């Protein structure tokens, strides 16, 4: 299980890096254009899943979940793409260190909050799946502003990163 989770988290990092690189040269007007998505713009969508990953990795590392009512809500004003490119690698590093330092049993155990519980491995899969959903949205937004998005498919990643 640990190897599968490391593969999934490495894939998610690779795909998000590719997307951030594709978005970096865009004019600010395109990055902030409201394209009608769930988080309106490219920057807001990227920021949403950045802060979500940061939140869930913190929960894993601190072995704590908040009350369900305290999860989510409105996203704060997003930082710049440059800030996300600088700060996101810390989240990816922290997730990798968490996974590498965890035993199979710890990953199979549940993370328990005041009113919910979830297996740690399921939370990691949620984090990756959530990122995949929003990368797809940003891909669509890139097309809407006249850009060609990068390929972020897991199959492409698997072919390029054989081990």
Q: What is the pLDDT of residue 76?
A: 82
The rounded percent of the chain whose pLDDT value lies above 70 is 99
Which option is the CATH number for 2-26+38-160: 1.20.120.450, 3.60.15.10, 3.40.50.970, 3.40.50.300? 1.20.120.450
Domain ranges of the chain: 2-26+38-160
Digit-coded pLDDT (tens) for 136-153: 999 999 999 999 999 999
pTM above 0.85, yes or no: yes
Angle, in degrees to the nearest 10, between helices 2-23 and 120-144? 20
Phi first, then psi: give them for residue 119, nearest 5 degrees: -65, 140
Digit-coded pLDDT (tens) for 75-122: 788 899 999 999 999 999 999 999 999 999 999 999 999 999 999 999
C-alpha torsion sign, points 18, 76, 131, 135: negative
Instruction: Give, in order, the Cα–Cα distances in Å from 127 to each of 39, 55, 148, 160.
Output: 17, 10, 26, 22
Q: H or E segment at 121?
A: helix 120-144
Q: What is the pLDDT of residue 163?
A: 62
Given a cut of 80, whether residue 73 has pLDDT beyond it is no
């Amino acid at each position: 299980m640990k190897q599968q989770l490391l593969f999934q988290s490495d894939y998610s990092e690779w795909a998000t890096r590719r997307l951030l690189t594709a978005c970096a040269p865009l004019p600010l007007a395109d990055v902030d254009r409201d394209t009608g998505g769930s988080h309106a713009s490219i920057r807001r969508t990227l920021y949403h899943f950045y802060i979500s990953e940061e939140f869930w990795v913190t929960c894993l590392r601190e072995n704590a979940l908040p009350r369900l009512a305290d999860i989510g809500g409105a996203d704060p004003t997003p930082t710049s793409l440059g800030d996300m490119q600088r700060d996101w690698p810390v989240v990816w590093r922290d997730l990798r260190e968490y996974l590498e330092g965890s035993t199979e049993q710890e990953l199979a155990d549940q993370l328990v909050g005041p009113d919910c519980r979830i297996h740690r491995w399921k939370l990691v899969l949620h984090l990756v799946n959530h990122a995949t959903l929003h990368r797809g949205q940003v891909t669509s937004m890139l097309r809407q502003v006249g850009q060609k998005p990068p390929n972020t498919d897991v199959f492409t990643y698997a072919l390029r990163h054989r081990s």
